[in-house]
């Protein structure tokens, strides 16, 4: 057991009780992307009271805390803060009933259905251990509470403010995410661990008319339907079976009434890739197919493409991951293991990619161990409510303690002068 985890164990029950209350409070008060004002204040006030040099409003609502403790490496730990525009359906006594306004000014339900409330709580707890046990480590700790992960804007917005705030560049960047998996487990992977993600909005332009006179129209509904079907062939017929890729059309909107042929239709799609060449090919294929279908329909205007969000690959540094893996294996034993890549996407890697700094990202299981074991035995793991499900609800214990231990264990691989108690 390394010195920081030993320090955690010395007052684990009291701290976990405090952090559970914080987690439930954050869960009941979710905030949409780039609107995380209350969450940021909770985190900033907490670490400021611990003695961190705190800067607020970094990248709109982001928080950066710096704690210097002698000579040594600078380790950055990151947690994302934002919630999702969706209703929660967990029946938990601390479930969210919050509503908010999205970027279009529309009222929406808001819920922490991706676990970012757990991420914030983990980082707050780790911040306390660092502050109260300076004899266990040397160097500089940077704790970063990031906005806007769900819209792919938060990391970039913080990076833009970084130099002006004169923050140090870290030597290593560490982050973690609660996922479906047995609570109490930690999984890691060198190289690509999360896919790149791109979301596009495509406007297709036709010519409106009366439903009884289709010959006077250029029907964007037919155009959109044909485009939707054809886009599915990119993965099934243009991408090698040896490469992984996903293309999902999540929104197709056109018209207001059954006897009116509308002027235009809108498609919103999302794609995930694990290779930059595949990503570039798919983006080009999407444009080719949309333009071709518009030409086939004799459209008078070409389609209009808007990027809604773009996430780079999360590709862990191999040497740094081995260092983290060794620490995890020593701390968690068989409960730490190598994971398969996930098709989810994150903007966590923006920090490391921008600064050319190594980074490591890993997963913490959040599913009741008995439920997970039963589902795995029945080959029904896919039926467990996952991130972004209205029923996603990580069990608080031991998820809270495991995530806290994992964060401290990974940081110890750089900060601790001795790995033994």
Q: Which residues are annotated as a binding site?
A: 114, 116, 150, 177
Contacts of 60 (CB under 8 A, 6+ apart): 34, 147, 148, 157
- Quick one: residue 139, left, alpha or beta (phi over 0 = left, psi -120 to 50 = alpha)? left
The Cα 245–Cα 275 span in angstroms is 9
As a whole number of angstroms, the distance between CA 22 and CA 18 comes to 6
Going from the C-alpha of 82 to that of each of 36, 102, 117, 125, 146, the distances in angstroms are: 6, 12, 8, 18, 8
- Preceding omega of 217 cis (within 30 degrees of 0): no
Token pair, residue 173, equals: 């960047």
**Strand 107-109 versus strand 139-146 pairing type:** unpaired
Q: Can you tell me whether residue 299 is helix, strand or coil?
A: coil
Query: Would you say 82 and 150 are in contact if contact means Cβ atoms under 8 Å apart?
Result: yes
Rounded Cα–Cα distance for residues 61 and 82 (Å): 10
Which tokens belong to 338?
A: 């190598």
Which pairing describes strands 186-188 and 359-367: parallel, antiparallel, or unpaired? antiparallel
> What tokens were used for 175?
């982050």
Which residues sit opposite 174 in a β-bridge? 77, 360
Q: Which two tokens stand for residue 157?
A: 């917005």
Tokens 């952090």, located at residue = 19
CB 333 within 8 A of CB 240: no
Angle at CA 125, nearest 5°, toward 114 and 52?
115
Q: How many residues in the chain?
A: 421
For the annotated binding site for Mn(2+), the residues are: 114, 116, 150, 177
Q: Which residue has the tokens 């403010």?
A: 161
- Strand order of the β-sheet with 245-254 is 245-254, 264-273, 196-205, 304-311
Name 12's Cβ contacts closer than 8 Å, sequence gap at least 6. Answer: 401
């Amino acid at each position: 057991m390394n010195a920081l985890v030993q320090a955690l164990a010395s007052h684990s029950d009291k701290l976990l009780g405090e952090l559970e209350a914080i987690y439930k409070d954050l869960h009941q008060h979710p905030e949409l992307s780039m609107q995380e004002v209350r969450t940021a204040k909770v985190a900033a006030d907490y670490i400021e009271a611990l003695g961190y040099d705190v800067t607020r409003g970094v990248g709109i609502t982001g928080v950066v805390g710096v704690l210097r403790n002698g000579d040594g490496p600078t380790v950055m730990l990151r947690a994302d803060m934002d919630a999702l525009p969706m209703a929660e359906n967990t029946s938990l006594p601390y479930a969210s009933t919050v509503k908010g306004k999205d970027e279009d000014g529309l009222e929406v339900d808001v819920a922490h259905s991706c676990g970012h409330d757990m991420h914030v709580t983990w980082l707050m707890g780790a911040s306390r251990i660092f502050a109260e046990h300076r004899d266990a480590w040397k160097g500089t700790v940077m704790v970063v509470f990031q906005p806007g992960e769900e819209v792919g804007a938060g990391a970039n917005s913080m990076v833009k403010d970084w130099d002006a705030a004169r923050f140090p560049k870290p030597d290593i960047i560490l982050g973690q995410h609660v996922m479906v998996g047995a609570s109490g487990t930690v999984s890691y992977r060198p190289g690509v661990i999360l896919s790149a993600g791109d979301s596009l909005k495509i406007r297709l332009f036709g010519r409106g008319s009366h439903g009884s006179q289709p010959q006077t129209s250029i029907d964007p509904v037919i155009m959109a339907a044909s485009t939707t079907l054809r886009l599915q062939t990119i993965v099934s017929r243009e991408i090698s079976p040896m490469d992984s890729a996903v293309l999902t059309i999540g929104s197709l909107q056109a018209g207001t009434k059954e006897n009116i042929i509308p002027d235009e239709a809108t498609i919103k799609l999302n794609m995930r890739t694990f290779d930059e060449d595949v990503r570039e090919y798919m983006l080009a294929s999407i444009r080719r197919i949309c333009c071709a279908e518009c030409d086939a329909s004799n459209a008078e205007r070409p389609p209009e493409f808007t990027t809604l969000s773009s996430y780079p690959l999360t590709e862990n540094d191999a040497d740094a991951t081995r260092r983290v893996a060794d620490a995890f294996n020593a701390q968690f034993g068989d409960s730490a293991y190598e994971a398969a890549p996930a098709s989810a996407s994150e903007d966590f890697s923006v920090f490391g990619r921008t600064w050319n700094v190594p980074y490591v990202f890993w997963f913490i299981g959040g599913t009741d161990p008995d439920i997970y074991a039963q589902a795995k035995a029945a080959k029904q793991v896919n039926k467990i409510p996952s991130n972004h499900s209205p029923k996603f609800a990580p069990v608080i214990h031991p998820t809270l303690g495991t995530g806290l231990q994992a964060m401290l264990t990974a940081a110890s691989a750089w900060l601790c002068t001795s790995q033994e108690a």
